[in-house]
């Protein structure tokens, strides 16, 4: 399982339905990360805690949690 922030790729329903800060790779537009409100940030944080807790029980390797947690702090401002 992978937990990620929602990313709006061009020519997708998410891209057409939401807004966010655009991301470019050189001169190319590759989409945007969705703007999230504080309640969604809280839900994302709770989900990551559940994944971490049950990952230990099921002996699953959990990668990238540090970057997810740092994104929480950045999103909260």
Mean pLDDT in the chain? Answer: 75
The answer to whether residue 68 scores a pLDDT higher than 80 is no
**pTM of the predicted model as reported, rounded to 2 decimal places:** 0.48
Tokens representing 14 are 């998410």
Tokens representing 37 are 């409100």
The answer to whether residue 1 scores a pLDDT higher than 60 is no
Better pLDDT: 5 or 52: 52
The answer to whether residue 60 scores a pLDDT higher than 80 is no
Residue that is written with structure tokens 């061009």 in the block: 10
Of 67, 73, 75, which is closest to residue 36 (Cα–Cα)?
75
Q: Are 23 and 31 in contact (CB under 8 A)?
A: yes
For the sheet with 28-34, list strands across it.
7-8, 28-34, 20-25
Helices (H), ranges, the chain:
13-17, 38-57, 65-76
The answer to whether residue 28 scores a pLDDT higher than 80 is yes
Tokens representing 31 are 């989409």
Give the residue-averaged pLDDT of 27-40: 81
Give the residue-averaged pLDDT of 25-47: 81
């Amino acid at each position: 399982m992978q937990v990620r922030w929602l990313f709006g790729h061009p020519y997708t329903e998410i891209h057409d339905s939401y807004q966010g800060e655009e991301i470019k790779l050189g001169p190319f537009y590759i989409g945007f990360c969705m703007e999230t409100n504080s309640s969604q940030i809280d839900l994302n944080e709770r989900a990551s805690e559940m994944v971490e807790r049950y990952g230990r029980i099921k002996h699953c390797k959990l990668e990238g949690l540090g970057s997810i947690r740092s994104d929480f702090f950045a999103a909260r401002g």
